[in-house]
Amino acid sequence: MIALVSAAHLFLFSWPGQPAKALFELPSEGESACGIGTLQFGAPDGSWSSGSSGQKVTCEFRQFVEPGALLSQWVDAGKTKPGADVEVTWTLQGGRATGKRHTATVKAEAVPADALHAQSAAGLSGTVTKVKNDSRVELKNAGSSGVLLGDVIAARNKPDDSCIGAGPQVYLQPGERYVDERPGLVSKSMVIWAAIFTTPTQCRWVEARRR
């Protein structure tokens, strides 16, 4: 078991009449891993615990936050309270890191619902590069507040499909970069489209400036 404590984050989200959600952003071993496997979390005194088995991921698609190559998991918050210390244990999927267990103690950070409704593409900009057969988008948040994001893709036109996808993926804080790497073509005519979430089931595609 490997202890990683410096970079891990736990964000809490709540909306009237809906179950509270937790977004874990957890360190990986560089970029070799492409997803979270099992996830267990609870109070340090053992008074409650919760967890998720996660979904099997394909390493054709990689999404992580820099610095730290943080991988995310969106789960029901259970008994997690804002400001509380939470012990979390997780395994990784993909590459040589598969199956290794990691531990951390993180403080739950509450994100107000009204802050999500004020989100926009202001401050979001990025680059698109070709990596072998993949399109790699690096989206930086140069704004003053965090943004709850789903998929971030490069395309000539606004995507026709729903922005819901697999749901929220990262809460990108000021100064951080969100990397989305997937099979695809790259051209100078493409722009960056990001799915911004205001609730777990409500989002919109926004255009981010391409640098």
Instruction: Find the CATH number of the domain harbouring 192.
Output: 2.60.40
Contact 59, 34 (CB under 8 A): yes
**Predicted confidence (pLDDT) at residue 4 exceeds the cutoff of 50:** no
For residues 18 and 84, the model is more confident at 84
3-state helix, strand, coil in the chain (%, to 5): 5, 55, 45
Q: What average pLDDT score do residues 8-32 get?
A: 88
Please tell me the total count of domains within the chain. Answer: 2
Question: Are 119 and 197 contained in the same domain?
Answer: yes
Question: Are 96 and 190 contained in the same domain?
Answer: no
Coil/strand/helix, residue 202: strand
Question: Are 17 and 78 contained in the same domain?
Answer: yes
- Entry pTM: 0.91
**Predicted confidence (pLDDT) at residue 3 exceeds the cutoff of 60:** no
Q: What average pLDDT score do residues 13-30 get?
A: 89
pLDDT at 153: 94
Question: Are 124 and 72 contained in the same domain?
Answer: no
Domain C-terminal end among 68, 96, 111: 111
In terms of Cα–Cα distance, which of 100, 29, 94, 23 is closest to 62? 94
**Predicted confidence (pLDDT) at residue 2 exceeds the cutoff of 60:** no
Question: Are 92 and 154 contained in the same domain?
Answer: no
Question: Are 174 and 202 contained in the same domain?
Answer: yes
Residues 100-158: tens digit of each pLDDT:
789 999 999 999 888 898 888 899 999 999 999 999 999 999 999 999 999 999 999 99
Find the range with the poorest average confidence among 2-11, 125-134, 176-185: 2-11
Q: Which domain holds residue 16?
A: 2-111
Question: Are 93 and 120 contained in the same domain?
Answer: no
**Predicted confidence (pLDDT) at residue 1 exceeds the cutoff of 50:** no
Question: Are 154 and 77 contained in the same domain?
Answer: no
